[in-house]
Amino acid sequence: MKHEANVTATVGHLIDGRIVHEQGRAQPVFNPATGASNTSVELASTATVERAIASAAAAFPAWRDTPPLKRARVMMKLKNLLEQHADEIAALITAEHGKVLNDAHGELQRGIENVEFAMGVPELLKGEHSRNAGPGIDSWSEFQPLGVVAGITPFNFPAMVPLWMWPMAVACGNTFVLKPSERDPSSALRIAELALEAGLPPGVLNVVNGDKEAVDTLLADPRIQAVSFVGSTPIAERIYADGCKAGKRVQALGGAKNHAIVMPDADIANAVSAMMGAAYGSCGERCMAVPLIVAVGDDTAEAMIAGLKTAIAEMKVGPGTDNANDMGPLVTRPHFEKVKAYVDSGVAEGAQLLVDGRALRVKGHEEGYFMGPCLFDHVRPGMKIYQEEIFGPVLGIVRVKTLQEGMDLINAHEYGNGTCIFTRDGEAARYFSDHIQVGMVGINVPLPVPVAYHSFGGWKRSLFGDLFIYGPDGVRFYTRRKTITQRWPSAGVREGAVFSFPSHQH
């Protein structure tokens, strides 16, 4: 089944409820399957970003005072609209990112689940209450919105990651400025239009497309109270440092190098199937992709390699518009060259390249950014393909002798985003999950991405900030607690001054 995207000639910005264009810088947006560009995206100037912030600031007082139930009803209408327009949105994702349509639909569905969670905001914002915390004194807490907040999102999930952020932010009473990736901007903008159709007032959600100038403006503007970011670790670290220096609350999710331990007792057939999707799904352009298998024992490694080579030979690589394909292209020509250079370095550093996808050509799409699946054996710590996030269809086998040796490798790595173990041994699984220094752990689950009512985030240099994204931590990030203590003295009663610190002893 095929769908074609209706991509506009120039992607502008959404400010104060309207699509706006500015005469300034722009850059082409490419179709990764063809290498051609039939659209461009405007890169917002500082003035345009400031205009969006001003719109959000003006909309905040009324939106803050809108009852949470009314805000939740907007989210309910948005959910319905997203489902009705799912084919259209998925086609936009595929046209600009390249992933297969089924994968684009899956991405959108996980985003919709976050909208569903935001629909419960009246319950999520209920504070705590204590009657008679002291003599005739009641005390309670409230969760109040921050004000204008911003989100900066990556190219690999152009619909889902924005939906991790702004639905909960606005449901909590904030107003929002979104800066999506300039590589594939159309789906985020289209979803924002649907939010207006769902009843979101103008100015509550604004979208500015841009590059570093837009990001720097968001970080510097004192009207922005908080920033959410998902992207590479070097940029996440800069966003966190600059945002905190400017007095903002920041959560910055960075890179990953996720390991999968395969034990000798694992169901090898199931582990192979799981790893095929985890390594090569979405062309490996996922922060939860698994690019490293840590095989415990040579027999385990050989069994995994045999299964993987058979499965790779059956893979279909081609344009994402055809759901018969398993994997589409990489997102841009520069990224293709970057991934290819990683494969080259793996060969140069002595890893054994068992399957080489560098020479793949897709008939009729010779100018597309297609790379076939690559498989390395004898990958070792210190190699670039072991240490660095590749973000491409490159899977490596690391051989170890024991579970502890494999865990020591994982715990020593600078990233701690996701990991998993394949085993039939409950004791080994429990020990692994208890002692591994990683934020998200799967047991016979290759991509342990939490559902919308939990929270997503890694450890170490995969996350800067102390709160995960979406779920319960999303509510905490986009609100601040206020505690109120109240007493109404009885009429005619006057008490003397008390100079000691108030306590239940008095």
User: What confidence score (pLDDT) does residue 492 get?
Assistant: 66
DSSP-derived 3-state class of residue 426: helix
Specify the pLDDT at position 1: 39
**How far is 78 from 162, CA to CA, in rounded Å?**
14
Q: Are 20 and 110 in contact (CB under 8 A)?
A: no
Q: Is residue 260 within 8 Å of residue 419, measured between CB atoms?
A: yes
Strand order through the sheet with 394-400? 352-355, 374-377, 394-400, 292-296, 259-262, 418-422, 440-443
CATH 3.40.309.10 correct for 259-443: yes
Of residues 262, 163, 227, 187, the one with CA closest to residue 29: 187
Q: Which of 283, 287, 374, 420 is catalytic?
A: 287
Residue 504: predicted pLDDT: 63
Give the pLDDT confidence score for residue 505 in this predicted structure: 61
> What is the amino acid identity at position 448?
P
Alpha helices in 294-388 (DSSP H): 298-313, 333-348, 384-387
**φ/ψ of residue 77, rounded to 5:** -65, -35
- Asked: is 10-254+462-483 a CATH 3.40.605.10 domain? The reply is yes
Locus of tokens 């904030």? 174
Element (H, E) at 279: helix 268-280
H/E run at residue 432 = helix 426-435
Residue 470 backbone class (left: φ over 0; alpha: ψ -120 to 50; beta: rest): left
Q: Compute the distance between CA of residue 232 and CA of residue 227 in angstroms, rounded to an integer.
A: 15
User: Is there a catalytic annotation at residue 172?
Assistant: no
Tell me the pLDDT of the chain (506 aa) as tens digits. 344 455 458 999 999 999 999 888 999 999 999 999 989 999 999 999 999 999 999 999 999 999 999 999 999 999 999 999 999 999 999 999 999 999 999 999 999 999 999 999 999 999 999 999 888 899 999 999 999 999 999 999 999 999 999 999 999 999 999 999 999 999 999 999 999 999 999 999 999 999 999 999 999 999 999 999 999 999 999 999 999 999 999 999 999 999 999 999 999 999 999 999 999 999 999 999 999 999 999 999 999 999 999 999 999 999 999 999 999 999 999 999 999 999 999 999 999 999 999 999 999 999 999 999 999 999 999 999 999 999 999 999 999 999 999 999 999 999 999 999 999 999 999 999 999 999 999 999 999 999 999 999 999 999 999 999 999 999 999 999 999 999 988 776 677 777 777 766 65
Q: How far apart are CA 60 and CA 148, in angstroms?
A: 7
* Integer angstrom CA distances of residue 458 from 175, 217, 496: 27, 27, 54
Q: What number of CA atoms fall less than 13 Å from residue 5's CA on the CB side?
A: 28
**Residue found under tokens 């100038």:** 213
Backbone dihedral angles phi then psi of residue 461, each to the nearest 5 degrees: -85, 20
Where are the alpha helices (H) located in 44-129, listed in sequence order?
46-64, 68-84, 86-97, 101-118, 121-124
The DSSP call for residue 186 is H
CB atoms within 10 A of CB 377: 20
Start-end of CATH 3.40.309.10 domains in the chain: 259-443
Q: State the pLDDT at residue 35.
A: 96
Report the alpha-carbon distance of residue 52 to residue 178 in Å, rounded.
Answer: 9
Q: Where in the chain is the domain with CATH 3.40.605.10?
A: 10-254+462-483
Query: Cα(176)–Cα(494) distance, rounded to whole angstroms?
Result: 48
* Helix/strand/coil for 204: coil
3 state SS of 123: helix
